[in-house]
Amino acid sequence: MTSLNSLKEAIWNRSPRSLRAIYQGLVPSTISATPFEPLDETIQKLIEERAAEQEEILVLDVGANIGQSVIRFSRLLENVIFHTFEPIESCHSILVNQFQGPSFVHNRIALSNENGTRKFYEFRKSDTSSFLRPDLKSDWARRRAERYADGNVDDLIADEYEIKTMTLDSYLSSQKQLAKRRVSLLKMDTQGHEPEVLGGSTELLSDSARRPLLIESEVILGAMYEKHSNFYDIEQHLVPHGYRLVALSGGGNLINKPSLGINALYASPEIASKIPH
């Protein structure tokens, strides 16, 4: 088994300088210093407790962008297999070029609630790209336009095009090696499309032998896109299957932070039962 330190070093060394700079903003020196600290501590503890029961830890990184979460989870966990999903060609190319080997499977598709195609909006700041158009009247759009679009909110979108969509259930069925595998962690950062990703995962969520032990989801509560998110959008897919909210990162309120977004961590009943009462 590869040690955590050697895995961290190997991935860090082959990461582009631009990605290192971005990630150093998230991880100044240690794991505990990240804004994801409440989630990371929980993920590391709960996954490690089950690691002995699995040959490898399977992480599905939905909305992988340029690999921020690949580095993050590699710093937390050992013996990880990543399947990444990223629709933007330039970002997907970075993933393919920088994270290579048998521990990585990269897919230039978007997970959704149906197989087909769907219009996608690529923003000038790639990690805010979405199936949703921006709320052009929002303070978030105005500030982003000042920084990335010469002050013109109409230019926040760099391009729009149809992209291939696939349900997670269909993807797992197409991968023979994953047909009966337990998913350790499903991470979703899809800028408001998380409910659709879960909507295409009903078979997985219903299978107690395979469903994700942990699910991390971004929940954008503030005014960023034309459609706002809430916890119900996520939990209507998870609570019926026994998932429990166990950690949150971020915080504040919409008054002081109109573009408020929170990352929520849910535990499956198989692992939530291990949490001390």
- Whether residue 257 lies inside any domain: the answer is yes
Which pLDDT value is given to residue 11? 47
Which pLDDT value is given to residue 54? 61
Could you tell me which residue, 77 or 83, shows the higher pLDDT? 83
- Whether residue 11 lies inside any domain: the answer is yes
Q: How confident is the model at residue 250 (pLDDT cuts 50, 70, 90)?
A: confident
pLDDT of residue 104 exceeding 80:
yes
pLDDT of residue 10 exceeding 70:
no
Give the DSSP letter of residue 252. -
Q: Residue 201: which residues within 8 A CB-CB, separation 6 or more?
A: 167, 168, 169, 186, 237
Cα 125 to Cα 147, 167, 188, distances in angstroms = 10, 26, 18
Q: Are strands 104-107 and 80-85 parallel, antiparallel or unpaired?
A: parallel
- Whether residue 14 lies inside any domain: the answer is yes
Q: Show the 3-state SS of 175-192.
A: CHHHCCCCCCEEEECCCC
Least confident of 12-21, 61-70, 181-190, 241-250: 12-21
Which pLDDT value is given to residue 18? 47
Q: Which domain holds residue 240?
A: 4-115+177-272
As a whole number, the mean pLDDT across the chain is 87
Segment 7-32 shows an average pLDDT of: 44
Radius of gyration over every alpha carbon of the chain, rounded to an integer in angstroms? 18
User: Tens digits of per-residue pLDDT, 107-163?
Assistant: 999 999 999 999 999 999 999 999 999 999 999 999 999 999 999 999 999 999 999
pLDDT of residue 248 exceeding 80:
yes
Report the number of distinct structural domains present in the chain.
1
- Whether residue 145 lies inside any domain: the answer is no
Segment 242-248 shows an average pLDDT of: 95
- Whether residue 32 lies inside any domain: the answer is yes
Which pLDDT value is given to residue 180? 86
Distance CA 14, CA 17 (A): 9
Could you tell me which residue, 7 or 48, shows the higher pLDDT? 48
Segment 224-234 shows an average pLDDT of: 93
- SS3 breakdown of the chain: % helix, strand, coil, rounded to 5? 40, 25, 40
pLDDT of residue 55 exceeding 80:
no
Could you tell me which residue, 109 or 9, shows the higher pLDDT? 109
Q: How confident is the model at residue 34 (pLDDT cuts 50, 70, 90)?
A: low
Which CATH number fits the domain that encloses residue 245? Answer: 3.40.50.150
Segment 67-71 shows an average pLDDT of: 95
Least confident of 98-107, 117-126, 254-263: 254-263
Percent of residues, the chain, with pLDDT higher than 70: 85
Percent of residues, the chain, with pLDDT higher than 90: 68
Least confident of 10-19, 132-141, 149-158, 215-224: 10-19
- Whether residue 277 lies inside any domain: the answer is no
Structure tokens that stand for 69 in this block:
């979460």
Which pLDDT value is given to residue 274? 78
- Whether residue 226 lies inside any domain: the answer is yes
- Whether residue 124 lies inside any domain: the answer is no
pLDDT of residue 189 exceeding 90:
yes
Which pLDDT value is given to residue 174? 95
